[in-house]
Amino acid sequence: MVMAFKERSIMSEKFEFVNQAMIEGTNIRQLCRRYGVSPTTGYKWVNRFLHEGKSGLLERSRRPLNSPFRTVAEVEKLVVAARKENPVWGGRKIKERLERIGHIGIPSASTITEVLRRHDMINELESAKHTAWKRFEHEEPNELLQMDFKGHFAAGNGRCHPLTVLDDHSRFLLVLDAFPNERGIPVMESLTAAFRRYGLPRGMITDNGSPWNNPSSKALTKMQIWLLRLGMDVRRSGIRHPQTLGKDERLHRSLKAEVLQGRSFRDLGECQDAFDRWRYVYNHERPHEALGMGVPADRYRISPRDFPERLPEIEYSANDSVRKVQMRGYFHFGGKQYWVGSSLHGLPVAVRPTLRDGVFDVYFCRSKILQINRNSGSPMGEPEC
């Protein structure tokens, strides 16, 4: 079982590489660097895929999947098998998936639904809950990533906290990692691996909890500071408005239904194995109704912005008043001191005048973090990231 999974994991990597390489305008050498392969190997995979299809990426020969059907019984058998493999998929997803892998003679989605009903494979009450509705989405991949922890669950003697990072436009799942807790440093390590592979997005949005936000104060967290220094817009969902992370929340429901429900795990390693298998299915095989029954990989493109191994220097305009944050999180301006949080210790902030006399905005990188009023000596407003 372990060897079989390792082989599929390698196959998933190859297919994801080729899928991106086939996109017009892709920088193949940059892509090879992101995936840790030589240009010779990368071009070999592409050429094999062009001549042999997906089977050309296999380490050993496999019998082709596509074959015409002769009887209705054979079609029903295939539909039932697809449903058993993906117990929550409906008629439209099953039809799209079977046709994508080369099967011909697949009946309509409504006919597939009737097949599932005849085999007692549909829960009518559950089906009634799933009503499609259109969500707002960004126009291009990598404009905004949604990041959140799914609710934790038992895994052996501990707990598993699944971290998910989803592209808002394509629904492509960049990260699905099993963690023992929700601490910031492991999350940053996971994001680093993703950014090295997929490049940097323009923005990230999270909820208001830790480790990305500080629930007890308005000060920036170390993770927010890191993301801002990477040049991203850092956003957080509205208070008591989790729907701003709606795509990630919907992903969590699918993860629960298709991977976690009715299953127990020995440890985090077993959780991660299941996550890796499902992430591939979700990105490359599972039809998505909001994408016109396409898959996220159809719409996703890696970012052209490379991840810098060293954080760039922080630069401000020559017209800004630049101040360095002291150890306890204060900086001095106009003979007074203002608090922005100890996480910014040693880093520069910029003070900029507003149209109101004596009122100044305080920025860290491109993000406004505070507004101060020299007339009263008190900070006013709230950080906006």
Would the pLDDT of 294 be above 80? Answer: yes
Among residues 83, 86, 85, the alpha carbon closest in space to that of 114 is found at 83
The pLDDT of 150-174, averaged and rounded, is 94
The answer to whether 337 and 328 have CB atoms below 8 angstroms apart is: no
Distance between CA atoms of residues 50 and 22, nearest Å:
9
Please compute the mean of the pLDDT values over residues 205-210 and round it to a whole number.
Answer: 85
Q: pTM of the entire structure?
A: 0.75
Which one, of 377, 381, 375, lies nearest residue 362 by Cα? 381
Judged against a pLDDT cut of 80, whether residue 134 lies above it is answered with no
State the Cα torsion 132-133-138-139 to the nearest 10°.
80
Lowest mean pLDDT among 37-41, 69-73, 215-219: 69-73
Residue 180: is the preceding peptide bond cis (ω within 30°)? no
Q: Is the per-residue pLDDT at 129 higher than 60? A: no
Q: Look-up: residue for tokens 């109101």?
A: 356
What's the rounded Cα separation, in Å, for the pair 248 and 244?
A: 9
The answer to whether residue 162 scores a pLDDT higher than 90 is: yes
Residues 6 or more apart whose CB falls under 8 angstroms from that of 115 comprise: 75, 76, 79, 80, 107
Q: Are 245 and 148 in contact (CB under 8 A)?
A: yes
Three-state DSSP class for residue 339: strand
Residue 110 class from Cβ within 10 Å (0-12 exposed, 13-18 middle, 19+ buried)?
exposed
Mean pLDDT within 114-122: 73
In CATH, the number for domain 72-129 is: 1.10.10
Measured between alpha carbons, how far is 256 from 275 in angstroms, rounded to an integer? 11
Half-sphere CA count of 20, side-chain side, radius 13 A: 26
Average per-residue pLDDT for the chain = 83
Do β-strands 233-236 and 203-206 pair in parallel, antiparallel, or remain unpaired?
A: parallel
Please write the tens of the pLDDT for every residue from 57-97. Answer: 876 444 444 445 445 677 778 888 888 887 778 777 787 77
What's the one-letter identity of residue 334?
A: G
DSSP structure class, residue 323: E
Q: Which of 73-77, 159-163, 217-221 has the lowest mean pLDDT?
A: 73-77
| C-beta of residue 48 within 8 angstroms of C-beta of residue 56 | yes
* Distance between CA atoms of residues 185 and 211, nearest Å: 9
- Rounded CA Rg of the chain: 25
- C-alpha to C-alpha distances, 81 to 70, 104, 171, 281, 351, nearest whole angstrom: 17, 16, 26, 16, 63
Minimum mean pLDDT among 21-25, 239-243, 335-339: which range? Answer: 239-243
Burial of 123 (0-12, 13-18, 19+ CB in 10 A): exposed
Class of domain 145-299: alpha beta
CA 108 to mean position of chain CA atoms: 32
Alpha-carbon span 145 to 200, nearest angstrom: 10
DSSP string spanning 172-229? Answer: -EEEEEEESS--HHHHHHHHHHHHHHH---SEEEE-SSTTTS-TTSSSPPHHHHHHHH
251-287 pLDDT per residue, tens: 999 999 999 998 999 999 999 999 999 999 999 988 8
145-149/203-206 β-pairing: parallel
Tokens of 127: 């089906």
Map residue 53 onto helix, strand or coil.
helix
Distance CA 23, CA 302 (A): 10
**Is residue 138 very low, low, confident or very high in pLDDT (cuts 50, 70, 90)?**
low
Tokens of 369: 């973090």
Q: Which tokens in the block code for residue 72?
A: 């209705």
For 306-321, the pLDDT digits (tens) are 999 999 999 999 999 9
